[in-house]
Chains A and B, each alone.
Chain A
Amino acid sequence: MERTTWDLWVGAFVVAGVAALAILAFKVGNLSTYNASESYTLKANFTNIGGLKTTASVRSAGVLIGRVIEIKLNPQRYEAEVTLSIDKRYQFPKDSLISILTSGLLGEQYLGLKPGADDDMLKNGDAIKQSRSALVLEDLIGQVVASKAEGAK
């Protein structure tokens, strides 16, 4: 079995393919900023999640710390139950506040986690007690219209 120039070219071709995949993973994709393997899950309840979707980002002080992995309706309390996966490097106090925020005026919605002051930290599977629901634009407009109508009387 002797080596041919075909082998060289095909080898270079395969290496180029693997390099392209690595570029897509680390330069184009998010594999470098967020590692799903070392994470823990938290739960949070909201009365209204607005347009939040699974894979939406979870940020604290603007830094990406995790993602939304599941959204479902709690049939007993009629509240949205959101499951988050948070990077293990970041621990948060028990009384942290989670709120649904919007990036820009029309941007996508994400979760903001504001740390509290408790000494105990949230553990895997815990629920975040304090939550603030999404601002629904229609509700806001409705309130403004209603208050204008009050004023006109």
Chain B
Amino acid sequence: MALVNSVRKIGHRVIEAIWRIGYATHFFVLILLNSGSSFRRFRLTVKELFFTGVMSLIIILVAGLFVGVVLGLQGYEILKRYGSESALGTLVALSLLRELGPVLAALLFAGRAGSAMTAEIGLMKASEQLAAMDMMAVSPIARVVAPRFWAGVISMPILATIFSVMGVFGGYLVGVVYIGVDEGSFWSQMQGSVEFQHDVMNGVFKSFIFGIAVTVISLFEGFDAPPTAEGVSRATTRTVVQSSLIILLLDVVLTALMFRGN
């Protein structure tokens, strides 16, 4: 009996998970269909851009600087063994542009802005504001969800590029100013190996995809949260966990597609 019950439980979980995936896809399509108003009434999107994008700037700037500083220190330690300290610029810039910039910015974004979105929408649902909008024939997806989605999708690539720039600056501070790597070779080796199309634009594209994933997950979890205090808190936790995992998974897939080592 215990065996049957556990099998039943597993089956229930699997079906539930598939159900949620389908519901989330449905939700994503609804957002896209209802996004007309977030551009016609761009004011709504601007307001959300302020809360998701501008308010995340500080953490992105500081984190980017720290990551660049650490990359500079660690990279120098390793490159020194091979006598190629001048390649420090290349190492810092490529690792930031291709991986660390988009991925870390997206992880921070999920923690900073994604969780806030989930909690906000979950509370709106718990206090029946979304239901009230529906009663007034105002689509909550068009009025509340879609502007937040577009704000997230627009701000994610911007935040990731700013993160990369701050990281390169941090690497420059440590490498050139503090350790004393030759400034000319730092920049010229960097410029010699960074391809605009291949490295910069691929990184921007990655962060764009991450932006879609994080905002859809955050909004969906908020929209789907049980309308209780506990439900909202669980949904917020799930947002951070799931977005982080999805970001890393998507990064594996995108990296495999973009940089196949040829």
Binding site for B on A (CB under 8 A): 1, 6-7, 9-10, 12-14, 16-17, 20-21, 23-25, 27-33, 53-55, 57, 64, 104, 106
Q: Are A64 and B192 in contact (CB under 8 A)?
A: yes
Binding site for A on B (CB under 8 A): 43, 46-47, 49-50, 53-54, 57, 82, 84, 93, 97, 155, 157-159, 161-162, 164-165, 168, 187, 190-192, 194-196, 198-200, 204, 262
Apart from A28-B168, A55-B195, list 20 A-B contacts with CB within 8 A: A6-B47, A6-B50, A9-B50, A10-B49, A10-B50, A12-B54, A13-B155, A13-B158, A14-B158, A20-B164, A21-B204, A25-B196, A28-B194, A29-B191, A29-B195, A29-B200, A30-B195, A30-B196, A32-B191, A64-B192
Q: Are A24 and B195 in contact (CB under 8 A)?
A: no
Which chain B residues lie closer than 8 Å to A7 at the CB level? 46
In the complex, what distance in Å separates the CA atom of A30 from the CA atom of B93?
12
> Which of A9, A12, A32 has the most CB atoms of chain B within a 10 A radius of its CB?
A9
Contact (A28, B93) CB under 8 Å given A6-B47, A54-B262, A55-B198: yes
Q: Are A21 and B200 in contact (CB under 8 A)?
A: yes
In the complex, what distance in Å separates the CA atom of A33 from the CA atom of B188?
10
Q: Are A13 and B191 in contact (CB under 8 A)?
A: no
Which chain B residues lie closer than 8 Å to A28 at the CB level? 93, 97, 164-165, 168, 190-191, 194, 200
B169 nearest CB neighbor, chain A only: A23
Interface secondary structure of A, over-half rule: helix
In the complex, what distance in Å separates the CA atom of A17 from the CA atom of B204?
11
In the complex, what distance in Å separates the CA atom of A65 from the CA atom of B159?
34
Of A33, A55, A104, the residue contacting B191 (CB under 8 A) is A33
Q: How close is B124's CB to chain A, nearest CB, in angstroms?
A: 20
Contact (A20, B162) CB under 8 Å given A6-B47, A10-B50, A10-B54: yes
- Can you list the 8 inter-chain pairs with the closest CB atoms, starting with the nearest? A17-B158, A20-B161, A29-B196, A20-B165, A6-B50, A29-B194, A10-B49, A9-B54
In the complex, what distance in Å separates the CA atom of A23 from the CA atom of B93?
12
Which chain A residues lie closer than 8 Å to B161 at the CB level? 17, 20-21, 24
Q: How close is A30's CB to chain B, nearest CB, in angstroms?
A: 5
In the complex, what distance in Å separates the CA atom of A73 from the CA atom of B143?
58
Q: How close is B94's CB to chain A, nearest CB, in angstroms?
A: 10
A16 nearest CB neighbor, chain B only: B162
In the complex, what distance in Å separates the CA atom of A28 from the CA atom of B187?
7
Q: How close is A127's CB to chain B, nearest CB, in angstroms?
A: 24
Contact (A17, B97) CB under 8 Å given A6-B50, A24-B165, A29-B194: no
In the complex, what distance in Å separates the CA atom of A120 from the CA atom of B262?
35
In the complex, what distance in Å separates the CA atom of A153 from the CA atom of B256?
53
Which chain A residues lie closer than 8 Å to B194 at the CB level? 28-30
Which chain B residues lie closer than 8 Å to A27 at the CB level? 187, 191
Which chain B residues lie closer than 8 Å to A14 at the CB level? 158
Q: Are A31 and B196 in contact (CB under 8 A)?
A: yes
In the complex, what distance in Å separates the CA atom of A32 from the CA atom of B54?
30
In the complex, what distance in Å separates the CA atom of A64 from the CA atom of B49?
42
Q: Are B164 and A57 in contact (CB under 8 A)?
A: no
Q: How close is A49's CB to chain B, nearest CB, in angstroms?
A: 14
Which chain B residues lie closer than 8 Å to A9 at the CB level? 50, 54
List 26 A-B residue pairs with CB atoms under 8 Å apart, sorted by A's residue number.
A9-B54, A10-B46, A12-B54, A13-B49, A13-B53, A13-B54, A13-B158, A16-B57, A16-B158, A16-B162, A17-B157, A17-B158, A17-B159, A20-B161, A20-B164, A20-B165, A24-B165, A28-B168, A28-B190, A28-B200, A29-B191, A29-B199, A30-B194, A30-B195, A57-B192, A104-B84
